[in-house]
Amino acid sequence: MQKLPFCPAEKLREIASVCPTPFHLYDEQGIRLTARRVREAFSWNPGFREYFAVKANPNPHILSILKGEGCGVDCASLTELMLAQAVGFRGEEIMFSSNMTPGEEYRFARELGVIVNLDDITHIDFLKENGGIPEKICLRYNPGGELHIGNTTMGHPWDAKYGLTRPQIFRAIRLLQAEGVKQFGLHTLLASNSTDQAYYPTIAKMLFKLAKEAHEMIGAEFFMINLSGGIGIPYRPQETSADIFEISREVQKLFAEMIAPSGMNVNIASELGRYMTGPHGCLVATAIHEKHIYKEYIGLDACAANLMRPAIYGAYHHITVAGKENLPNDHIYDVVGSLCENNDKFAVDRPLPKIEIGDLVVIHDTGAHGYSMGYNYNGKLRSAEILLHPDGTFDRIRRAEAPKDYFATLDETEFYEKLVNQTEVDK
């Protein structure tokens, strides 16, 4: 099965002529259509909301698109909360799911009136001291050995630092009821990039059961059950996308059996990141070097600073050479960057068409956990982000970093002026 970029080669060349590589490119139309599919799939639940995981793609332009499609956002830090506020998300349109949370972040979250998702029972007193206990609150559940769901990215639940145990959930509800909490939410996150259609229904059954028991045993009222993220995307050509409609139908059946009879008005929520934006982004780079030793290498002007997943996870990202989509893949390359680390490889022993210096190389499926995981090792500077509109026009929605950005936090030192005077290289 052939896997093609969402942007044709001639348009990529046009963009690259204005915005030098490397850059991350996002497909606005694809993001909007995915958001609409998710909303339609769960339309059986009137209060359903997708809380996009900001960590997946924290660009405010992307967040604004999703806001326009009726999504909320899930934030995990002060700066993510600030982004959400700047884009115009308000109150319960924002979930704050953090762990080992600083007091200032809880205080800001409470000022914004967001849904706080507590990660530990000890955070009850901490939140009380830092912002106060709201009347509605969510609890993150860790089932431990109850479920054997996990993957190499998230690991097993019993090894995870996240969430409360089942006994702690019941104890926390009682403590919070004593503090005036009237309604509760439940949340868990047990997998990342799961391609198993049964993942969401399995999570739903577990959380529905827990909510039903807490309602019957201690009178807890639930306003939300958040099925979290974790639904994967087809990174490889032979893989198929998850059927969000079939997944939702199975969740609906469980809801009718387990929650509806209780009479509780429970909103279903999701917290998708990768599924929402992952396929709708790519990293565009230029082949700038070739090397012929024990293996054949193609060196790009991008590196793991622009896309970390292959280096740290061994993750597969499909690669297309722009304009050579229909040529035979009759050459075997390691496609690499310039970091002083041998794991700085986008592909190892990858069959590709012959690559020539100057070719545009498209690395697929970087719309989530691509730019956002970037870093500045070796003093490498992070790339620009470009948004492709449905009419074919495009905008730069984040400029590339310049040396002055890298040196900016040295402004209190004696070296700052010397460095900045050397770095007037902004484009």
Three-class secondary structure assignment of the chain: CCCCCCCCHHHHHHHHHHCCCCEEEEEHHHHHHHHHHHHHHCCCCCCCEEEEEHHHCCCHHHHHHHHHCCCEEEECCHHHHHHHHHHCCCHHHEEEECCCCCHHHHHHHHHHCCEEEECCCCHHHHHHHCCCCCCEEEEEECCHHHCCCCCCCCCCHHHCCCCECHHHHHHHHHHHHHCCCCEEEEECCCCCCECCCCHHHHHHHHHHHHHHHHHHHHCCCEEEEECCCCECCCCCCCCCCCCHHHHHHHHHHHHHHHCHHHCCCCEEEECCCHHHHHHHEEEEEEEEEEEECCCEEEEECCCCCCCCHHHHHCCCCCEEECCCCCCCCCEEEEEECCCCCCCCEEEEEEEECCCCCCCEEEEECCCCCCHHHCCCHHHCCCCEEEEECCCCCEEEEECCCCHHHHCHHHCCCCCHHHHHHCCCCCC
pLDDT at 427 > cutoff 80 = no
Q: What is the mean pLDDT of residues 182-192?
A: 91
Burial 3-40 (b: 16+ CB within 10 A, else e): bebbbebebbeebbeebebbbbbbbbebbbebbeebbe
pLDDT at 156 > cutoff 70 = no
Q: What is the mean pLDDT of residues 284-293?
A: 98
Q: Percentage of the chain with pLDDT > 70?
A: 95
What does the alpha-carbon distance between residue 419 and residue 422 come to, in Å, rounded to a whole number?
5
Q: Cβ-count burial of 416 within 10 angstroms (0-12 exposed, 13-18 middle, 19+ buried)? A: middle
Q: What is the mean pLDDT of residues 400-412?
A: 95
pLDDT for 260 equals 97
Cβ neighbors of 288 (< 8 A, separation 6 or more) are: 299, 300, 301, 357
Q: What is the mean pLDDT of residues 181-191?
A: 93
Residue 194 pLDDT level (bands cut at 50, 70, 90): confident
Domain spanning 25-276: CATH 3.20.20.10:
yes
What does the alpha-carbon distance between residue 21 and residue 8 come to, in Å, rounded to a whole number?
16
Residue span(s) of the chain under CATH 2.40.37.10 come to: 279-421
Nearest CA to 410 out of 376, 374, 373 is that of: 376
- Mean pLDDT score of the chain, rounded to an integer? 94
pLDDT for 422 equals 76
Nearest CA to 66 out of 43, 83, 47, 44 is that of: 83
Q: What is the mean pLDDT of residues 224-250?
A: 95
Q: Which residue has the higher pLDDT, 365 or 424?
A: 365
What does the alpha-carbon distance between residue 294 and residue 281 come to, in Å, rounded to a whole number?
33
Q: Cβ-count burial of 261 within 10 angstroms (0-12 exposed, 13-18 middle, 19+ buried)? A: exposed
Residue span(s) of the chain under CATH 3.20.20.10 come to: 25-276
For the stretch 349-399, pLDDT in tens is 999 999 999 999 999 999 999 999 999 999 999 999 999 999 999 999 999
Cis peptide before 22 (omega within 30 of 0): yes
pLDDT at 126 > cutoff 60 = yes
Q: Which CATH superfamily is domain 279-421 in?
A: Lyase, Ornithine Decarboxylase; Chain A, domain 1 (2.40.37.10)
pLDDT at 148 > cutoff 90 = no
